Structure 1
């Protein structure tokens, strides 16, 4: 028991090769999160303009319909 405790507290840093797969997965996930964040911010910023455009288009259509009658 004492030997196990001494071994755990005196162990040196392990050196292991992970490979490129973990890095590629991390970069892919990071780029996905960044892209989704940018697109959602863009959607939130453009929403008021889309609403205004729909209102103006509906008003224009009403005026055109009244002129046709």
Structure 2
């Protein structure tokens, strides 16, 4: 069972398995969050959530298959 947690981090590293990326992520508590928004991390390797300001970064060395 996945334990849900508050989104208190301002920078979160993600991997290719986390794509398509959206904020809040599945392991974050949703009741006090914002609407789900999909974030385009594939091109630049990072994406900023327009609602909460969390910066998501692709882990170093991650390979995204099928995306250019």
Q: Give the TM-score range, shorter chain.
A: under 0.3
TM-score normalised by L of structure 2 = 0.16
Structure with greater strand share of residues: 2
Structure with greater helix share of residues: 1
Which has the bigger relative contact order, CA under 8 A and spacing at least 6? 2
